[in-house]
A = this chain, B = another copy of it.
Amino acid sequence: MAVTMRDVARRAGVSAKTVSNVVNGYPYIKPETRDRVLAAIEELGYQMNATARSLRTGRTGIIGLALPELRVPYFAELAGAVIAAAEECGLTVIIEQHGGRRDLELEVLTGARRHLTDGLIYSPLALGTDDAASLLDLSYPLVLLGERVFHPDIDHVTMQNTAAARAATEHLLRAGRRRIVALGPNPTQDVGSAPLRLTGYREAHEAAGLAVDPVLVVPTIRTWDHATGARTVGRLLDDGVDFDAVFAFNDSLALGAMHEIQVRGLRVPDDVAVVGFDAIDEGRYSNPTLTTIDPGRTVIPREAVRLLDERRRGVAGGARRIAPDFQLVPGGSTGAPDRAAATAAVG
């Protein structure tokens, strides 16, 4: 059997409650008593039983992070950063993969794991505005990532989707590209990143006084991965669609597209320039490197954890909405020079 508070208390000649007070940083303890307790803890190698504490307090110190799939690089990087940020707050994270399946996304909200966690950071893919109701009468703190299920009464951490997409498109227009594919919109999706990014794409064209050729607005399935990017661009090429640039709605799509373009014997960026979105690590070592949008990749996980922790501790007021500054990251896929690594390391 493990060492308990009673054991420590006996050893220190105090009551269990005093040990509890010491462990929890209760201030009004005679220094001498505290020292005796700390010594006893040390000697016995006492470690608190988190389960017992949770049963009593109703809080576990665990938060959930629900996302589509960990194997998708964007979510892997997000999860790594969320875990690190949670650690700073003394919180533990459990990751739940819903695969973008609607039934699983809903189950996450009410499933058994919600008893294990103090709150949830939630990145849905299939839910829409209609589902906002499901999110409003939850009995635990919730922070939403993205804005598929936007509701003003829920904490959100999101991106400047439209402005960033506009900047990405303007970057291509400035480089003289005039037939820019928008890769990623989905006709059945009225909410979420896709329509917002498409709006940015359109805004950039309008501002430049250019019309958007509908042929260049190319829907994909919701799974924005390499395979989808490659397959979709492959079909455009098969169909003889004329384009000189691709703005893909995320980096995986962009990298898949870039792969396919080169497999077909075209050059990036000479024949087709490519811009992505997310600034995942992979794009920094692709061939060529990928021009992309950094939507605030370090800020988003940190803020998500902060918002949730504040709710959890009951120190938050009304719902908050955070959309960090974004940044265009130039790469070889739009003609920025791909510097040699050894040289870069020196400089």
Binding site for B on A (CB under 8 A): 2, 47-52, 54-55, 60, 62, 69-71, 73, 76-77, 79-81, 83-84, 92-97, 112-113, 115-116, 226-227, 230-231, 233-235, 237-238, 255-256, 258-260, 262-264, 281-282, 284-287, 289, 338-343, 345
Contacts and interface: CB of A to CB of B under 8 A. Distances in A.
B340 A264 contact: yes
A235 B113 contact: no
B285 A343 contact: no
| Shortest 10 CB-CB contacts between residues of A and residues of B | A234-B342, A76-B76, A70-B80, A230-B341, A226-B285, A259-B285, A71-B80, A51-B54, A234-B341, A287-B287
A94 B92 contact: yes
A269 B2 CA distance: 59
Given A70-B80, A287-B287, A341 B115 contact: no
A197 to B, nearest CB: 21
Given A285-B226, A287-B258, A97 B116 contact: no
Contacts of A262: 287
Interface-central residue, A62, A83, A234, A287, by most chain B CB under 10 Å = A287
A24 to B, nearest CB: 14
A189 to B, nearest CB: 22
A235 B48 contact: no
B48 A112 contact: yes
Nearest to A235: B342
Nearest to A76: B76
Contact of A93 (B69, B84, B95, B343): B95
A64 B71 CA distance: 18
A276 B208 CA distance: 45
Contact of A255 (B49, B69, B226, B285): B285
30 contacts: A2-B115, A47-B112, A50-B112, A50-B116, A70-B77, A71-B81, A73-B73, A73-B282, A79-B95, A83-B97, A92-B94, A92-B113, A93-B95, A94-B94, A95-B95, A227-B341, A230-B342, A234-B342, A234-B343, A237-B342, A238-B342, A256-B285, A259-B286, A259-B287, A259-B341, A260-B340, A262-B287, A263-B338, A263-B340, A264-B340
A119 to B, nearest CB: 15
Given A60-B51, A340-B234, A286 B284 contact: no
Contacts of A260: 340-342
Interface-central residue, A52, A259, A285, A345, by most chain B CB under 10 Å = A285
A203 B84 CA distance: 41
